[in-house]
Amino acid sequence: MFQIISDGGCDFSTAETQAFNVQVVPFYISFDGNTHLKEGIDITREEYFSRLASDKKLFPKTAQPSPQDYIDAYTPHLKAGRDILSVTISSKLSGSHNSAVLAANMLRDEFPQRRLVVLDSQSASIGQGLILKEIAKMKKAGFSLEKTADLAERVLKTTRVYFTLDSLEYLRRGGRVGPTTAFVGGILGLRPILHLEDGQVSHLDNVRGKKNAMRLISEALTHTLRDDAQNVNICIGHILKEDDAVIFKYDTETSLGITIDNEVAEIGAAIGTHTGPGGLAFAYCKKFESIVRQENRGHIQPAAHSLEAESA
């Protein structure tokens, strides 16, 4: 058996970490550059975003878990004879992946009989969460660590994450849009739509007005998924917009004719620092079962295992 470990980029709730048996290594949040709070432990997501919303001048920073944090998380499982599959937020968004790889390399000498795989999710937040949920399902189905890691690599290639935000302000602060664009966009009521592309946050488009944005997103999502909705795992997330997220989930279920199993998720600081408070997110990926079915039908050639360098 193996243990699934993730960094806090997955935005799992406490209930989800228990339900999927995933251990989370939290990110650090600092408002002043001196005090570092562990997300989800020293400060809740709601507290974090409420502070952000109430103080417009606040520009917090997040810091990745250190290699020591990963060593502390990995060691008890290795000592107990369990292998580890560790999933991190995109290495293009954070140094968390590097910390995890460093920790794994240090522990391999100490536990040469154990296998330790570190996987770059190339995603974040609810996208990373979906990958973890698929991994948890594979584990439950009795897949080996190697097979799970191999399939997880395919799942992550099908993972898409999109966000729509209430304003362009935080994109301006992060240098993703210029001051004039943010100012004029604010006057015109433009809502940016972002996506995770190649592991990075990119600005996809702007849509005018909240109602219009929700309508266009819903149309596009239905158009994209309607032919394959049964084979897709979907998750809806929000930043202090739970009511909107619940309505969006219901609308998506109705338009696609499916039930979304995942509860509406709260987006955490790793992505929220880029976006600020107020926004909606959704992510989808192929269910691992559909990938296996395709593979069995010969539509997918088994991939060469690319994790060799990282696995013991």
- Residues of this chain that interact with another protein (CB under 8 A) are 158-160, 162, 175-181, 184, 188, 190, 193, 195, 203-208, 216-217, 219-225, 228, 232, 284-286
By beta-carbon proximity to another protein, the closer residue of 3 and 158 is: 158
Which of 173, 194, 168, 213 shows the shortest CA–CA distance to 267? 194
Closest separation in Å from C-beta 71 to another protein: 35
> In the Cβ-directed half-sphere of 305, how many Cα atoms lie within 13 Å?
13
Return all residues near 299 (Cβ < 8 A) that are at least 6 apart.
Answer: none
CB of 286 to another protein, least distance (A): 5
Residue whose entry in the numeric block shows the structure tokens 């949040």 = 29
Closest distance to another protein from the beta carbon of 155 (Å): 9
Helices (H) and strands (E) in the chain, counts: 12, 13
In the complex, the smallest distance separating the C-beta of residue 45 from another protein, rounded to whole angstroms, is 26
Q: Which is nearer to another protein, 113 or 211 (CB)?
A: 211
CA 249 – CA 139 distance, rounded (Å): 27
Minimum gap (Å) between residue 193 Cβ and another protein: 7
Alpha helix segments (H runs only) across the chain: 14-19, 45-54, 67-79, 96-110, 125-140, 145-157, 169-173, 179-188, 210-225, 242-256, 269-275, 288-296
Give CA–CA dist 178/172, Å, rounded: 6
Residue with Cβ nearer another protein (38 or 195): 195
Residue 274 and residue 1: Cα distance in Å, rounded?
Answer: 37
Residue (232 or 239) nearer to another protein, CB: 232
Judged by CB, which is closer to another protein: 37, or 130? 130
For residue 289, count CB atoms less than 10 angstroms from its CB and return exposed for 0-12, middle for 13-18, buried for 19 or more: middle
Could you count the other beta carbons within 10 Å of the beta carbon of residue 179? 9
Shortest Å, Cβ 117 to another protein: 23
Nearer to another protein, 133 or 286 (CB): 286
Instruction: Please report, as a single letter, which amino acid is at residue 92.
Output: K
CB of 53 or CB of 258, closer to another protein: 258
| φ, ψ at 166 (rounded to 5°) | -75, -30
CB of 214 to another protein, least distance (A): 11
Q: How far is the CB of 79 from another protein (least distance, A)?
A: 38
Q: By C-beta, is 79 or 157 nearer to another protein?
A: 157
Find out whether 6 and 88 touch, Cβ atoms under 8 Å.
yes
